Amino acid sequence: MPDATVLARAEQLRSTRTPFVLATVVRVERPSSARPGDQAIVLPDGTMEGFVGGVCAESTTRAEALRLLDAGEPGMLRITPGGGPDDLPGGLHVVENPCLSGGTVDLFLEPVLPALLVVVLGDGPVARALVRVGTALEHDVRLIDDPGAGLPADTAAVVVASHGRGESALLAAALRAHVPYVALVASPRRAKGILAELAEHGVDAEEIARISAPAGLDLGARTPPEIAVSIYAELVGTRVRPAFVAPPTRCAR
């Protein structure tokens, strides 16, 4: 049965927006020290908490979990003596168990990633629509009114919809923080002026070119909810990568 301690830890990590992989043993062939239902958590730095078998199973699980965390996709892993085809039907990845004790362990590896964090500056109709639409998309949307308040480290998108208040300051801050998606809600004429203002203040031209201004895909949107949909459509199309996912570390098997 599931490990209550591991599941409690998983809930704590979710509450703090910490990404992890939940590894669950689903099948074993003796000899093996693991049992079906054993679980472990793998953090982005390679730390493991819980139990899915001995040192060989642990190191292999860690390496595969970090690979799947980087991809953001779940997967099945089989650790078995002699190995086998790299991949079997159903997405089962097979890795040789080099330990003398032998045994086969099948695990389900589930990356758990925080919701995409979207910061919106403004309090007008478009800003409020961005919150409603983003919440329906299961994003973590945070409405702010202070462009100098600072951005969370894992911010995936910044949308400035303040209609003239603090626009340049937050756009520049988002670019400095390397936020993947940065957008400005404005008319084409005013957007051009804001981008020119950033250039005058020394912001690099290549960075300015990353700003979507006017924000969103050209869908003919007119109402605030339609504008919000066009912005999220563009955001989805960019395939934003969460800033919190670290590249896989090298782990000995």
> DSSP states of 199-210 as a string?
HHTT--HHHHTT
Q: Please give the share of the chain, as a percent, with pLDDT higher than 70.
A: 90
223-241 pLDDT per residue, tens = 999 999 999 999 999 877 6
In this predicted model, what pLDDT tens digit does every residue of 156-194 receive, in sequence order?
A: 999 999 988 889 999 999 999 999 999 999 999 999 999
Other CB atoms within 10 A of residue 107 CB: 28
> Is 90 exceeded by the pLDDT of residue 84?
no
In a domain, 224, yes or no: yes
Residue at 246 is within a domain: no
- CATH code at 190? 3.40.50.720
Q: Are residues 209 and 224 in the same domain?
A: yes
Same domain, 96 and 24: yes
* Same domain, yes or no: 148 and 213: yes
Number of domains forming the structure of the chain: 2
Contacts 24+ apart (CB under 8 A), 72-77: 72/111, 72/113, 72/242, 72/245, 73/111, 74/108, 74/109, 74/110, 74/111, 75/108, 75/109, 76/26, 76/106, 76/107, 76/108, 76/109, 77/106, 77/107, 77/109
pTM of the model: 0.79
- 87 within a domain of the structure (yes/no): yes
The residue among 110, 99, 105 whose CA lies nearest residue 253 is: 99
Contacts (Cβ under 8 Å, ≥6 apart) of 3: 37, 38, 39, 50, 51
Is a pLDDT exceeding 60 seen at residue 3?
yes
Strand partners, 80: 96
Amino acid at site 208: I
- 102-143 pLDDT, tens digit each: 789 999 999 999 999 999 999 999 999 999 999 999 999 999
Does 127 share its domain with 57? no
Residue 252 inside a domain? The answer is no
- In a shared domain, residues 37 and 50: yes
Share of the chain above pLDDT 90, in %: 73
Last residue of a domain, one of 89, 112, 135: 112
What pLDDT is stored for residue 221 in this prediction?
92
CA atoms within 13 Å, Cβ hemisphere of 173 = 20
Per-residue pLDDT band at 92 (split at 50, 70, 90): confident
Answer yes or no: is 233 within a domain: yes
Is 243 among the domain residues? no
Overall average pLDDT of the 73-81 stretch: 92
CB-based contacts of 19: which residues, under 8 Å, 6+ apart? 13, 43, 44, 69, 111, 112, 113, 114, 242, 244, 245
Has residue 87 got a pLDDT over 80?
no
Answer yes or no: is 44 within a domain: yes
Under 8 Å between Cβ of 102 and 81: yes
**Around Cβ 81, how many Cβ atoms within 10 Å?**
15
The distance of Cα 251 from the centroid of its chain, to the nearest Å, equals: 22
Mark whether 173 and 230 lie in a shared domain: yes
> Do 136 and 96 lie in a common domain?
no
Do residues 126 and 228 both lie within one domain? yes
Structural domain of residue 54, as residue ranges? 4-112
pLDDT of 26 higher than 70: yes
Residues 94 and 34 in one domain: yes
228 in Cβ contact with 130 (< 8 Å): yes
pLDDT band at 244 (very low <50, low <70, confident <90, very high): low
pLDDT band at 30 (very low <50, low <70, confident <90, very high): confident
Q: Are residues 60 and 123 in the same domain?
A: no
Judgement on whether residues 88 and 45 belong to the same structural domain of the protein: yes
Same domain, 88 and 159: no
The answer to whether residue 253 is domain-embedded is no
User: In the predicted model, what is the mean pLDDT of the chain?
Assistant: 89
Strand partners, 42: 21, 48
Phi, psi of 98 (to 5 degrees): -85, -5
Tokens of 177: 């923080």
